[in-house]
Amino acid sequence: MAFDLESLAEATSGAIGALVSTSILYPLDTCKTKYQAEVRAHHQQKYRNTAAVLWEAIADGQVPSLYQGLGTKNLQSFISQFIYFYGYSFFKRLYLKKTGNKTIGTKANLIVGVAAGACTVIITQPLDTASSRMQTSKFGKSKGLWKLLSESSLSEAFNALGISLLLTTNPSIQYTAFDQLKQRLLKRQLKEKTSTNSSPEALSAFSAFVLGAVAKCIATFVTYPAIRCKITIQAADLDDNNETEEAESKKQKTVSGALYTIWKREGLLGFYKGIEAQILKTVLSSALLLMIKEKISKTTWVLLLALRRYLFMTQTRLKSA
């Protein structure tokens, strides 16, 4: 198919936004993930809340370890968001071209989002598993990316792939809600303007932040039990486990095992353990991502247009030479 410049601009700006937001919020993400990965009865829990993970790092002098796995997480975020935004924009434009419609409905938007998310998950799942293991390892004991990948079998690298595919509904719900709210807001803004630019319109930073936060909050609450199971499956094995705990840990590496373990040890509310930190992190992350994406989208668009023009002129000169 023809080269899609607008999709590339969307993907590039989205990937840069993901890189910045992931780096800023990574310590919170580490604390949240370690807290979610602990599946024990209430009287045996090491961490009472997400803040307890932070205090442990401070007390042990391991604050830098809150950043363990940052490189892998950034790599995953950049690649996954680039693929997702490119796929989402490309499939959306393809749908509009094939149907001849000027706008895309909610159902079609969800399907497009899920398709883009599935492509993303399949490609980046080993990085997702590796980053989760790094974050849930003991402070200062995290292994490097290549060592983790080399020690893992192919099936282990793709742990929780089924749940990850299920969770593609999360960003699809988020971006569908965001896109619909964005279009309505931009229509109001366009009515107040006497002229429009040829490049895509962009939201203000504050508007993008608020819309992104609302959309992600809803999506996170709906899909959180699956998120908790996924982290439980991908968590690193503790070095000080006894034989009984090791056997239990192996059972947790399957979907049914994770569901049973959480239910047995923590009850129904266990499926929502850490949801406050999850919502805080994901809302801030998504809002920052979308805010940054909206602010640099026009710049990215202009730079890509200039690059295409330069390549076209260079190609023309070579042909005429």
The per-residue pLDDT for 193 is: 66
Domains and their CATH numbers in the chain = 5-190+202-235+250-320 (1.50.40.10)
The DSSP output letter for 104 is -
Q: Hunting for tokens 């399907």 — which residue is that?
A: 111
Q: Is 0.75 topped by the overall pTM?
A: no
The per-residue pLDDT for 92 is: 86
Between CA 111 and CA 53 the distance in angstroms is 38
- Which residues lie below 8 Å from residue 173, measured CB to CB, with a gap of 6+? 110, 113, 215, 218, 219, 222
The per-residue pLDDT for 20 is: 86
The per-residue pLDDT for 248 is: 57
Residues in the chain, overall count = 321
Element at 312 (helix H, strand E): helix 275-320
Instruction: Give the pLDDT means over successive 10-residue stretches in the chain (321 positions).
Output: 61 80 90 89 82 92 91 89 83 86 78 86 92 89 84 83 88 76 80 55 74 79 90 77 54 81 89 90 78 75 73 72 61
